[in-house]
Structure 1
Amino acid sequence: MSYSNGINASAATLTKNRTPGNVCSSSGLCATCIDGCPGLCEVGKSAYRGRELIYPQPFGSTTSASQKEYPVDLSHLNIMGTAVGAHGIEADSDKATFPAVNLETEIGSTNTIKLKLPIVIPGLGSTQVAKDNWEGLAIGAAISGIVLTIGENVCGMDPDGEIKNGRVVKSPDMARRVKLFQEWYNGYGAIVVQFNVEDTRLGVAEYVINELGVEAVEIKWGQGAKDIGGEVKLPSLERAQQLKSRGYIVFPDPENTNVQQSYAQGSVKEFERHSRIGMVDEESFMARVAELRSLGAKHVMLKTGAYRPADLARAVKFASLAKIDLLTIDGAGGGTGMSPWRMMNEWGVPTVYLESLLYQYMERIKAKGMYVPKVAVAGGFSLEDHMYKGLALAAPYVKAIGMARAPLAAAMVGKTIGNYVKEGKVPADIAKRYGNTVEQIFTANTALKQQYGEDAARIPATAMGVYTYFDRLAVGLQQLMCGARKFSLDYITRDDLASITREAADVTGIPYIMDLDAEEVEKILG
């Protein structure tokens, strides 16, 4: 197995090797680099586009995630079934059926949030791809009964936002994002607004709590895609100047006359907006949590990234001391926006490793009698088997699985199919198998009509895509749990997993499959 792949060419950066079958495994360069090549690979293209190649492309219409193969990932764990008994339901074949599996859960400390499904969509912020697909994400999340987080920099990036004396007083984009969820809220899930350094300086918390009625907020330390602040690309000089005036770091400097001339001549085609990195310490963290609660926030959460183990320990301890409503940890490799491509591949603690450390740290604070916060785990999850493994690996502490790229993909596909239907251009392979209407194509349409009646017609196809995708995850998870005889999420344990490699057993503490059930086997055969 290759742990690095020498990634020097990828669809993420629109690059390729001249000799794809003959590539140096360590550098990623072609085995023979020839004079006269126009620069196809990442190194070659960097010779004329430079810093542009740091980021995935094209920005604004794609999402990207690591291509690196880690020594241990979720595929190194298998879910164990059994032919005996049932947990959470009577051991009766007529009652212990997979539709009877209960997927509802709760998060929160004092005030709880009920979830229909154990899913959280972590912060999708100011990137264009999130903005363009927000209707599907917001409505889809609300009708599915899950948590959706509005990520960093939305108010600061809002071109129509109003900022007075360094504080946001109006943000139509933020208001739209919040209200889309609130309109379809059905008693399950929550809309959460996240803050980074810039958001805090702009007073985003005060605005969303007081003006928009937001009850759940999240302090952001980082994510699994990168260990720096957020960044986006800006298409115009005027936009770059606007954001610099709002306090953001913008490169190249849009106020520099040479840069302005280069932009007019076409040699500078875009600008980068960067957020500052946060500085974490216990005293300021506790003060910020207290401040948010005093502002009226009913739920205060913390999102951290794939930082080194000491930072995970800080997150666990601080979340315990502050009685945080949800701690979300995010393993390396993920990404929804414009994280630097090499950073996405080569930094941080991968998800399985990070969650294995999380379990150890949670066990330690529990043993000390400290408050044990609810946890969500993110970092490459997309399907029901991933969810089961994520819930079990650090059970009983993990209450939800965080995923962003997959729901965003579902929203984009739903939107695309909806556009096909409107234009009367449904592809032949879809039309022949399923039909030409939204009602025929989306399998969850019937359930939505039963739940919402005539209002179901107002649900856009992009939201149907999200809802239908989550419905698939729900049924798939119910089937896996039924096979393990676990009929409620509370009964999922680490014993539901087995390591199928020795290295996975070493990393996770989950027994190697050939050693599993050894004592019970002796009792049975002894």
Structure 2
Amino acid sequence: MSPRVPKDSSYLNSMSTTGTRTRVQDLCPLSGMCPICIEECPVLCEIGLSAFRGREALYPDPEEFGTSTAAALKNFRLDWSDLNILSRLQGARGIEEDPDSALFHKVDIESETGGIPLKVPLVTGAFGSTTVAKRYWDALSIGAALSGVILVIGENVCGMDPEVNLSNGKVSESKDMAYRVEKFREFWDGKHGDVAVQTNVEDQRLGVDDYVISKLGVNIIERKWGQGAKAIGGEVRLPTLERALTLKKRGYLILPDPEKPSVQEAFKDGLFKSFERHSRVGMPNQEDFLEDVDQLRGKGAEKVTLKTGAYRPIDVAWTMKMASEAKIDYVTFDGAGGGTGMSPVPMMNEMSTPTVYLEAQILKCARILKENNKYVPDISMAGGFIKESQILKAIAMSNFGDGPFVKSITMARAPITAAFKSSYFLKLAEEDKLPKSFVEKYGDNYEKFFITAPDLKEEYSEDYDKIPPEAIGVYTYLSDRIGTGLQQLLAGTRKWKLDLADRSDLAALTERSSRVTRIPLMDEVEAGAYERILLD
């Protein structure tokens, strides 16, 4: 039986992310420790694991690196479930008021972020140098292309490429980066979505921007200032000494230092099984940033975007000011707290601004800019989104009557999960080990259990066989599930275009959610309508 963790404890002493548990279930609510901690206890709690493994206990289970993603366990006390979508009985906006015309599948859910058309209001990524992205790249990239959304190639891909060619310290060729870009373009329609390359401090030093713009024809460059899962540089694990030495020579911070003889000996003896690779933390300032954006456009970047984390309010305001002055095409704000790679567990649980709070801060900034006739960049919100209801609430909340500020939602962990599940069940099918209940419901081969396979086969005919089955899974999740779900919810509000969804379609269920978002409580919505309608 899994231990019961006090939901109000900020100091979790047993977590599935680190593979720890406690001996008893009734825990001390203050510390998360067993009320009686005994000497002869064979169970590894957080304290026990830390006594043996030290810094390793800060991260999700190292044995699962490359085959997992991670997220916070903390209850942030405010999420999208604290808002409800209000349905309508009468009328129809965006379509003829006719039951034969106003059918839910006619709802237009297309959006445009930074001037880039999207079939579904989604951006996937960023999927960077972490092993999990590389393992599932075909599924993620082709699934995104089929769905007509933006795919973001994350940081450090060139720097981590074993076969990268460097000339005077700059990238002249990267097979990994070229593969990632071209794999998306194999099924890109040339209109909806596009591939973006995210660059951090390390990438800038290696000249990744110049390479992807000039050699690979990349249209979108995304500068990175952090993410919701952590406020420090990107981190990955390196399984070999040779890899650690190579990346240290390329300028990365590697811990422990692979050049020390004592460290090499400890690694060979199996004292630890992987090195940590860390990226430097960016230190943006106004003058350098504005100049940087101008240079990127001068080099040929058609779109310049910005990815930032869930920093404190003054940083949100400063980021919006910089994005406005530089006329950034869109900004991605990532709320606490999950990661696609190797984010420290304490950071995921205890640091940064949760998504709903963060969006409220961003919207305050956007309205101030707009009211003062300043440029407002499009916004893409990230941070724990997995369902169409969350997506619709985030977009509707941002529309004060002139169209939404939030034009898309960025997702990372959820598309990877779709790829995970697709890959695993395909393997089970090949080994004739699918669960009996699954076979009875959905069939025993992928052309049966991926419900969109027949449609894709008809659309792509002879090219259909080039689509990896895992990519069909990602497409089915993004386009068929989320896309159809959005259409249904919007039809329920009697709005047949996504950009018509606004704050009047939402009601707050708690006083906190109402206070933070300025959305009225459910019992306050249209409170004056009763007499007006009944006595008219």
| 1:82 is aligned to 2:88 | yes
Q: Contact conserved, 1:38 with 1:44, CA < 8 A, in 2? A: no
Tell me what 1:12 maps to: 17
Cα deviation per residue 1:296-351 (whole Å; 9 max; x = unaligned)?
A: 11111011110001111112111111111111111111211100001111001100
| 1:400 is aligned to 2:400 | no
Q: Contact conserved, 2:10 with 2:350, CA < 8 A, in 1? A: no
Tell me what 1:268 maps to: 272
| 1:523 is aligned to 2:523 | no
Structure 1 alignment gaps of length 5 or more: none
Q: Contact conserved, 1:4 with 1:69, CA < 8 A, in 2? A: no
* CA–CA separation in structure 1 for the residues paired with 2:484 and 2:530: 32
Q: Contact conserved, 2:197 with 2:221, CA < 8 A, in 1? A: yes
Tell me what 1:376 maps to: 380
Q: Secondary structure at the match of 1:163?
A: strand
Cα deviation per residue 1:228-263 (whole Å; 9 max; x = unaligned)?
A: 000011111111100100000011101111111222
Q: Of the candidates 136, 143, 151, which is equivalent to residue 146 of structure 2?
A: 143
| 1:59 is aligned to 2:62 | no
Return the offset for 1:39: 5.0
Tell me what 1:129 maps to: 132
Cα deviation per residue 1:77-112 (whole Å; 9 max; x = unaligned)?
A: 00011112111111111111110100111122xxx2
* CA–CA separation in structure 2 for the residues paired with 1:134 and 1:435: 26
Tell me what 2:242 maps to: 238
Return the offset for 1:6: 2.9
* CA–CA separation in structure 2 for the residues paired with 1:3 and 1:18: 19
Tell me what 1:229 maps to: 233
Q: Contact conserved, 1:3 with 1:70, CA < 8 A, in 2? A: no
* CA–CA separation in structure 2 for the residues paired with 1:131 and 1:24: 42
Q: How does 1:40-119 map to 2 (within 5 A)?
A: 40-57=44-61, 58-108=64-114, 112-119=115-122
Using the size of structure 2 for normalisation, the TM-score is 0.95
Letter in 2 for 1:167: K
Return the offset for 1:3: 4.5
Return the offset for 1:429: 1.9
Structure 2 alignment gaps of length 5 or more: 1-5
* CA–CA separation in structure 2 for the residues paired with 1:338 and 1:426: 31
| 1:198 is aligned to 2:202 | yes
Q: Percent identity?
A: 50
Q: Secondary structure at the match of 2:338?
A: coil
Q: Secondary structure at the match of 1:498?
A: strand
Q: Of the candidates 419, 422, 441, which is equivalent to residue 414 of structure 1?
A: 422
Letter in 1 for 2:94: G
Q: Contact conserved, 1:249 with 1:273, CA < 8 A, in 2? A: yes
Q: Contact conserved, 2:254 with 2:275, CA < 8 A, in 1? A: yes
* CA–CA separation in structure 2 for the residues paired with 1:4 and 1:98: 44
Return the offset for 1:522: 4.0
Letter in 1 for 2:458: Q
Using the size of structure 1 for normalisation, the TM-score is 0.97
Q: Contact conserved, 2:9 with 2:31, CA < 8 A, in 1? A: no
Q: Of the candidates 333, 337, 344, which is equivalent to residue 341 of structure 2?
A: 337
* CA–CA separation in structure 1 for the residues paired with 2:415 and 2:211: 28
Between 1:406-415 and 1:263-272, the stretch displaced more is 263-272
| 1:475 is aligned to 2:475 | no
| 1:351 is aligned to 2:360 | no
Q: How does 1:230-309 map to 2 (within 5 A)?
A: 230-309=234-313
* CA–CA separation in structure 1 for the residues paired with 2:332 and 2:298: 22
Letter in 1 for 2:86: M
Q: Of the candidates 390, 395, 418, which is equivalent to residue 386 of structure 1?
A: 390
Q: Secondary structure at the match of 2:152?
A: strand
* CA–CA separation in structure 2 for the residues paired with 1:155 and 1:30: 47
Q: Secondary structure at the match of 1:31?
A: coil
Tell me what 1:183 maps to: 186
Q: Which runs of 4+ in 1 moved over 6 A?
A: none
* CA–CA separation in structure 2 for the residues paired with 1:521 and 1:3: 40
Letter in 2 for 1:173: D
Return the offset for 1:424: 3.7
Q: Contact conserved, 1:55 with 1:341, CA < 8 A, in 2? A: yes
Letter in 2 for 1:342: P
Return the offset for 1:122: 2.8
Return the offset for 1:521: 3.4
* CA–CA separation in structure 1 for the residues paired with 2:147 and 2:79: 28
Cα deviation per residue 1:206-249 (whole Å; 9 max; x = unaligned)?
A: 11111111111100011110010000111111111001000000
Tell me what 2:3 maps to: none
Q: Contact conserved, 2:22 with 2:43, CA < 8 A, in 1? A: no
Q: 1:117 to 1:518 in 2, by over 3 A?
A: same
Q: Secondary structure at the match of 1:114?
A: strand
* Paired residues, number: 522
Q: Contact conserved, 1:224 with 1:379, CA < 8 A, in 2? A: yes
| 1:164 is aligned to 2:167 | yes
